[in-house]
């Protein structure tokens, strides 16, 4: 647990084993950072269990984070990978979640750091990895106080962030620990960093039905590739879970996003007017350097009975 007294600032390597990841905590216990022996790193804010940085061995950042993002726990983080649960957007017609704030409460609650695991055998020298686990439950002290009042269900969330030399995996397990069934939605709201959105193409969504939340239309399709030239907010539902989404810049593949048990892919970019209206979006032309590709299960509801669990994950691979 991060808040225990006299905790070590660094989780050191075990003597006699090959070099492995080092996990450190910030002085104020607000974030956890892991670095592989090869130089790749990831940083997770305990507020929301939000991944706020993912860098390759050269130190190049792969995620976009607003310069005005609130990292003090006062609101959800604009950028990185916020965790959306138990509702995507708002659902005024859904009885269980109609009073919850946009995107639920997981991204505004303080999670507990549960520990790390690493690849520590000689065969892992060429492919080191580190996994960080975080937890949030209905009994947790860090739960957003309004959540207990507005969503009175017994639940447990385990969120895992796994870093390898060329990928980042984020996965969540949702468990119903109570007697009452509940409905939920899950989304991993990933902000990818790009150099220039005008040179970006997204492949892997051709002929896939989508809901266009800007135009308020449903069951739309388009051929590959998708380009971003205006405000974009779409929920795609690919027919196959194995279908990957590839993000390229100037024709060169940069990211490949794959999903595990997450049926939908949201593609979002606020463009000029939307970005201008968000106080925590800086710089205002930052939409040119970001693209949200967000695996989730949001076009319908997961219904969990007592003891049921739902598990979903994404893997972002550097191509």
Residues annotated as catalytic (active site), given as ranges: 189, 294
d(CA 155, CA 214): 33
Both tokens assigned to 197: 């959105």
What is the per-residue burial (b if ≥16 Cβ within 10 Å, else e) of 139-149?
A: ebebbbeebee
Q: How many CA atoms lie within 13 A of 104 on its CB side?
A: 23
The residue assigned the tokens 């003891």 is 307
* Cα separation, 186 vs 291, whole angstroms: 19
- Residue 122 DSSP symbol: G
Report d(CA 83, CA 295) in Å as an integer.
11
- Spatial separation of the C-alpha atoms in residues 290 and 80, rounded to whole Å: 10
Task: Return the closest-CA partner of residue 61 out of 197, 254, 239.
Answer: 254
For residue 66 the two structure tokens come to 């607003």
Query: How far is CA 255 from each of CA 25, 66, 240, rounded to the nearest angstrom?
Result: 28, 20, 19
Spatial separation of the C-alpha atoms in residues 152 and 122, rounded to whole Å? 48
CA dihedral 294, 300, 306, 309 (to 10 degrees): -30
Max CA distance (Å), the chain: 60
Measured distance CA(168)–CA(44) in Å, rounded: 12
Residues in a beta bridge with 201: 248
């Amino acid at each position: 647990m991060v808040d225990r007294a006299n905790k070590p600032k660094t989780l050191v390597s075990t003597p006699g084993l090959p070099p492995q990841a080092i996990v450190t905590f910030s002085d104020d216990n607000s974030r956890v950072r892991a670095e592989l022996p090869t130089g790749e790193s990831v940083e997770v804010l305990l507020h929301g269990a939000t991944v706020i940085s993912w860098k390759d061995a050269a130190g190049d950042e792969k995620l976009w984070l607003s310069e005005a993002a609130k990292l003090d726990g006062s609101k959800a983080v604009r950028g990185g990978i916020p965790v959306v649960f138990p509702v995507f957007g708002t659902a005024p017609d859904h009885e269980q979640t109609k009073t919850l704030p946009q995107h639920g409460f997981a991204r505004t609650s303080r999670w507990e750091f549960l520990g790390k695991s690493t690849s520590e055998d000689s065969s892992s020298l060429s492919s080191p990895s580190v996994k960080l686990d975080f937890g949030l439950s209905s009994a947790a002290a860090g739960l957003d106080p309004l959540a207990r009042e507005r969503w009175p269900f017994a639940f447990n969330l385990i969120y895992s962030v796994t870093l390898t030399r060329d990928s980042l995996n984020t996965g969540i397990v949702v468990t119903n620990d109570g007697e009452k069934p509940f409905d939920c939605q899950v989304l991993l709201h990933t902000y990818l960093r790009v150099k220039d959105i005008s040179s970006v193409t997204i492949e892997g969504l051709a002929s896939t039905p989508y809901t266009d939340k800007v135009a308020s239309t449903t069951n739309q399709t388009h051929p590959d590739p998708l380009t971003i030239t205006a405000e974009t907010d779409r929920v795609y539902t690919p027919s196959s879970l194995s279908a990957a989404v590839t993000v390229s810049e100037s024709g060169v593949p940069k990211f490949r996003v794959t999903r595990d048990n997450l049926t939908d892919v949201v593609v979002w970019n606020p463009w000029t007017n939307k970005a201008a209206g968000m106080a925590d979006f800086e710089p205002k032309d930052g939409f040119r350097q970001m693209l949200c590709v967000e695996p989730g299960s949001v076009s319908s509801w997961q219904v969990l009975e007592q003891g049921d669990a739902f598990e979903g994950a994404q893997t972002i691979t550097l191509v």
